[in-house]
């Protein structure tokens, strides 16, 4: 009665697809298949279903993740697409990270999620996998894991949320979370108003509705050729979003049959296109870190693209998309204006058109097949090359004695552009606790010309490199109308934030010979964005002497659980935190664990 070849346990097992993958685990491959089929049948699947390409669907739904609240509907639509095209869809979970419910930071858990994603894709009998993600760290974690597992993977994002409204003015997470909080701190709005704003900032399911990290990574994933043009911007609660999910499911079957794997699709040119789009959208500074981690997972590309590449590309790319925080609008506006198709058609002269995409066609072929004629509304949101929002270099990479391995600033999000060329005396906060204790102290010695310095928020120093780089304007200055100051740190900032903020200073202060770690009150710090310089006015001898003193102090602190390990001042040895502090690499390498990189380059 059984007809299917897999029932013939004496037939040689040669196919590498579906249930027949990875059958070595019980020694006897035929017995392993026999066992595997017994258990998958327990889930109710019939022979016909089991003979199809198996498309795994990663379920990242969590009650703690409102950005992923629509995942159940997306899975249903995706399964429909898979099954209408002859595949069998099987969902499985990985961990789910929401930006605000992942203590100490979601970035701390990104590498854990990437390991979960990689290992579950590798372990399970799937021919291709749809990776449903969306919230900030999720898409990077899935791309990192997917590239390392190197089975066919198709990212599917949950999509941006809709904007809300306050007194007739549109508001949305999370640029307006910050603006309004700053206004409340400065006494410009009262407790009633800030409370009613709180209910409108995130009014629907989906990811933050501005050009924050989630939106940036969605756009970057399209630029990499891994998702269809409309799939970055379609709102989470729209029917278009469901149709994108259905289409992704359908496409997964052909990608599975063709065994189109991420390491084969993605090239140096794909990543250069992604960086071009990052600059043109005024994307999140976090995307620089994530892209470096993703790039370094690719065995042929690891190490060949650096921070310098981002700066070099930026010099030729204008900021074209008018979205908060660099501009004024929301992701729904970008979608309605033509979204990524409109942008990539506009950027066409700057893109590598021969880069491959997941459809099996090149980017140029995909763009030829989808012409876009800008209409009047579209060009206010997606500007033409001749009328940009910011001429070029929206994201700038800095170097200098204060940041020998680099630092990043989103120049286009500066609120007071005079500060892009500025020098002033440092006001140093040792860590976030010190900051919250003193920033609003009426006796804090600070003027609008001071440079606010926050140490110990790097990848090791405050594991996961929290988004604390947007140091608040001291209350006493905020009250006098000061809206922006030069602020520098070894941490990150939310992609939704703005200001003249230098981030990702490397080496971070938790590295014992970090120059950033020895900055003191009153030292003169100088930023020259045009020259790409970040300097501290100290002699080499003075720097050396301060570092020696710091090393000696750290030696004394050795107590078994904390102190100096190699060049790192670490706090934990046990568990994931111990692993994190001892193996995470610096921002310019992507804050990945060094042992996950494709080229094995070790962290300091």
- Give 205 or 570: the residue with its C-beta nearer to ligand FES: 205
Dist CA 490 CA 462 (whole Å): 10
Per-residue binding letters, 450-489, with Mg ion (x by CB under 5 A): ----------------------------------------
Please report, as ranges, the residues that interact with ligand FES according to CB under 6 A: 67, 98-100, 135-136, 173-174, 207-208, 212, 214
Among 494, 509, 514, 585, binds Mg ion (CB under 5 A): 494
Helices then strands (H, E): number in the chain? 21, 16
Q: Is 285 in the site for Mg ion (CB under 5 A)?
A: no
- Give 208 or 587: the residue with its C-beta nearer to ligand FES: 208
Other residues' Cβ atoms within 10 Å of the Cβ of residue 524: 13
The per-residue b/e assignment along 71-100, b for 16 or more CB within 10 angstroms, e otherwise, is: bebbbbbbbbbbbebebbbbbeebbbbbbe
Q: Residue 135 binds what, of ligand FES, Mg ion, none (CB under 5 to 8 Å, by partner type)?
A: ligand FES
Among 111, 175, 213, 359, binds Mg ion (CB under 5 A): 213
- Give 212 or 463: the residue with its C-beta nearer to ligand FES: 212
HEC letters along 339-379? HHHHHHHHCHHHCCCCCECCCCCEHHHHHHCCCCCCCCCHH
- Give 53 or 212: the residue with its C-beta nearer to ligand FES: 212
> Are 219 and 291 in contact, with CB atoms under 8 Å apart?
no
**Both tokens of residue 332?**
């729904």
Q: Residue 207 binds what, of ligand FES, Mg ion, none (CB under 5 to 8 Å, by partner type)?
A: ligand FES
Q: Residue 236 binds what, of Mg ion, ligand FES, none (CB under 5 to 8 Å, by partner type)?
A: none
Beta-bridge partners for 593:
584
Q: Residue 83 binds what, of ligand FES, Mg ion, none (CB under 5 to 8 Å, by partner type)?
A: none
Rounded least distance, CB 208 to ligand FES, Å: 3
- Give SS3 for 451: strand
Binding-site size, Mg ion (CB under 5 A): 4
Q: Is 105 in the site for Mg ion (CB under 5 A)?
A: no
Beta-bridge partners for 129:
56, 153
Dist CA 370 CA 367 (whole Å): 5
**Both tokens of residue 187?**
């006494």
Of the candidate spans 39-47, 213-221, 419-427, 434-442, the one that interacts with Mg ion by CB under 5 A turns out to be 213-221
Among 91, 116, 136, 366, binds Mg ion (CB under 5 A): 136
Dist CA 344 CA 66 (whole Å): 30
Q: Residue 155 binds what, of Mg ion, ligand FES, none (CB under 5 to 8 Å, by partner type)?
A: none
- Give 216 or 393: the residue with its C-beta nearer to ligand FES: 216
Rounded least distance, CB 100 to ligand FES, Å: 6
List CB contacts of 559: < 8 A, sequence separation 6 or more. none
Which residues lie near Mg ion (CB under 5 A)?
136, 212-213, 494
């Amino acid at each position: 009665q059984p007809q299917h070849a897999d029932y013939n346990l004496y037939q040689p097992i040669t196919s590498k697809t579906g249930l027949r993958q990875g059958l070595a685990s019980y020694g006897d491959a035929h017995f392993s298949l026999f066992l595997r089929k017994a258990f998958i049948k327990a889930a109710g699947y019939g022979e016909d279903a089991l003979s199809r390409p198996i498309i795994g669907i990663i379920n990242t739904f969590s009650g703690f993740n409102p950005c992923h609240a629509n995942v159940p509907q997306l899975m249903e639509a995706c399964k429909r697409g898979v099954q209408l095209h002859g595949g069998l869809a099987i969902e499985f979970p990985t961990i789910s990270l929401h930006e605000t419910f992942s203590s100490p930071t979601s970035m701390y858990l990104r590498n854990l999620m990437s390991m979960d994603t990689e290992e579950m894709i590798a372990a399970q009998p799937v021919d291709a996998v749809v990776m449903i993600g969306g919230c900030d760290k999720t898409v990077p974690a899935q791309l990192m894991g997917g590239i390392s597992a190197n089975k066919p993977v198709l990212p599917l994002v949950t999509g941006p949320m809709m904007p809300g409204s306050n007194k007739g003015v549109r508001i949305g997470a999370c640029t307006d979370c910050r603006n309004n909080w700053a206004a409340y701190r400065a006494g410009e709005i009262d407790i009633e108003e800030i409370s009613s704003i709180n209910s409108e900032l995130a009014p629907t399911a989906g990811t933050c509705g501005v050009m924050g990290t989630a939106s940036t990574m969605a756009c970057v994933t399209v630029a990499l050729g891994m998702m269809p043009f409309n799939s970055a911007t379609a709102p989470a609660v729209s029917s278009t979003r469901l149709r994108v999910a259905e289409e992704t499911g359908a496409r997964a079957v052909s990608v599975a049959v063709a065994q189109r794997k991420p390491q084969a699709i993605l090239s140096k040119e794909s990543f250069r296109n992604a960086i071009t789009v990052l600059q043109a959208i005024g994307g999140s500074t976090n995307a620089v870190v994530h892209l470096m981690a993703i790039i370094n997972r690719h065995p042929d590309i690891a190490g060949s693209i650096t921070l310098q590449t981002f700066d070099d590309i930026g010099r030729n790319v204008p900021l074209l998309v008018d979205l908060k925080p660099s501009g004024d609008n929301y992701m729904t506006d970008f979608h309605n204006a033509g979204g990524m198709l409109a942008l990539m058609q506009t950027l066409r002269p700057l893109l590598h058109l021969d880069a491959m995409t997941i459809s099996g066609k090149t980017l140029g072929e995909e763009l030829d097949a989808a012409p876009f004629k800008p209409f009047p509304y579209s060009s206010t949101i997606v500007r033409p090359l001749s009328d940009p929002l910011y001429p070029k270099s929206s994201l700038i990479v800095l170097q200098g004695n204060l940041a020998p391995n680099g630092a990043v600033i989103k120049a286009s999000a500066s609120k007071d552009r005079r500060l892009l060329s500025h020098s002033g005396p440092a006001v140093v906060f040792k860590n976030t606790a010190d900051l919250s204790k003193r920033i609003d102290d009426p006796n804090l010695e600070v003027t609008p010309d001071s440079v606010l310095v926050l140490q110990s928020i790097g990848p090791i120093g405050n594991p996961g490199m929290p988004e604390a780089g947007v140091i608040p304007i001291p209350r006493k200055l905020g009250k006098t109308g000061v809206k922006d100051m030069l602020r520098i740190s070894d941490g990150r900032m939310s992609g939704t934030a703005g200001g003249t903020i230098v981030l990702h200073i490397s080496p971070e202060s938790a590295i014992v010979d970090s120059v950033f770690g020895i900055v003191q009150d009153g030292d003169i710090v100088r930023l020259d964005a045009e020259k790409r310089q970040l300097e501290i006015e100290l002699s080499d001898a003075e720097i050396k002497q301060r570092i020696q003193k710091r090393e000696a102090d750290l030696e004394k602190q050795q107590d078994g659980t904390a102190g100096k390990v190699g060049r790192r001042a670490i706090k934990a040895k046990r568990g994931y935190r111990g692993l994190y502090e001892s193996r995470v690499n610096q921002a310019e390498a992507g804050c990945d664990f060094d042992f996950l990189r494709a080229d094995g380059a070790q962290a300091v």
